[in-house]
Amino acid sequence: MMPGKNWQEKKNPKISIVIVNYNGEKYVSGLLNSIKKTKYSNYEVIFVDNTSSDNSLKIVRKNFPNTKIIANKINRGFSGGLNDGIKKSKGEYVVIMNTDMLVHPDWLTFLMETMNSDEKIGLVGYARLFPGTEKIEMLGHKAVNENLGKFNKIGAGQNLGKFLKKGPIKADFCLGMIRKSILAKTGRFDEKKFAMYEEVDFCRRVRDEGYKILVDPRAKVWHFVSQSLKKTGPFRIYYAYRNRMRYMLQHNKGFGKIYYPLVLMPTYFYKAIKFSLQGNPDAGWAIMRGIGWNIKNWRDYF
């Protein structure tokens, strides 16, 4: 007697791959073509477009008809776009991605294998590698000081081979596969963050609920490293500094909610002045605007 459909679904549960896009025309075909080579068969792809002004949405509609498309009328940011995709997802698990990535054919198989090894695993991250190499961009992040929202990349700049025999690596935050059933406890992504630190905050809530976060080095994803966001551009600076402060205010308790932001404030002022003196006053002003935004939204924290 052949095993029935329910047996097959239990063995290979459905995975929803959620891709949030904004002007990713340069990368979208590469990503979706690489996903088509994925050996794990029971998955769906949800493409969330945040009002791109390029041809990325047209490319998906024309060349990838099996992709579910959510075309937002306003830019909902990375966090809002992820939530939109998660709401429409049919899988038991959700994998979150940027547009500027390529995947290995076995990536989902390894993510699912690790996820299934322990029901207390809430999220399994993939290995993020520099394009065309086995050199690690990161294997998730480890906390240096969570009270100050400071983290270091795991394995950055090293060769992946060093980690492949070690098995899954414990991380404090990463991008990857989420067990969707835990969202009832953790909540989804903080849409007020818009971009930057949304995954840090989400993973903190995953850990606070008692779930593990691991990274499987075998699950290879090549990343083109934030090509759309200039490292010292005002947009990136604003959200990075603003949302780090928001993360601290959300997760520190009692006196620490006041103490740790005050500890960080001199660094913020120093960086703002430094950017201005280096001829980048817009970045300096972005830091100050980020501080002001948190003051304006103080009711979120107290």
Query: Other CB atoms closer than 10 Å to residue 151's CB: what's the count?
Result: 17
Instruction: Label residue 231 by pLDDT band (50, 70, 90).
Output: confident
Q: How far is CA 268 from the centre of its chain?
A: 24
> What's residue 5's pLDDT?
43
Rounded CA-CA distance 201/195 in Å is 12
Q: What angle do CA 85, 52, 200 make, to 5 degrees?
A: 50
Rounded CA-CA distance 174/275 in Å is 29
Which residues is 126 bridged to in the sheet? 216
Q: Which CATH number fits domain 12-223: 3.40.50.1110, 3.40.50.300, 3.90.550.10, 1.20.810.10?
A: 3.90.550.10
What is the domain partition of the chain in residue ranges? Answer: 12-223, 234-296
What are the pLDDT digits (tens) for 240-287? 999 999 999 999 999 999 999 999 999 999 999 999 999 999 999 999
- The packing angle between helices 28-36 and 56-63, to 10°, is 30
pTM over 0.95: no
- Higher-pLDDT residue of 30, 11: 30
The pair of structure tokens assigned to 42 is 């029971």
The pair of structure tokens assigned to 36 is 């088509």
Decide: 38 and 131 in contact? Cβ < 8 Å: no
What are the pLDDT digits (tens) for 50-62? 999 999 999 999 9
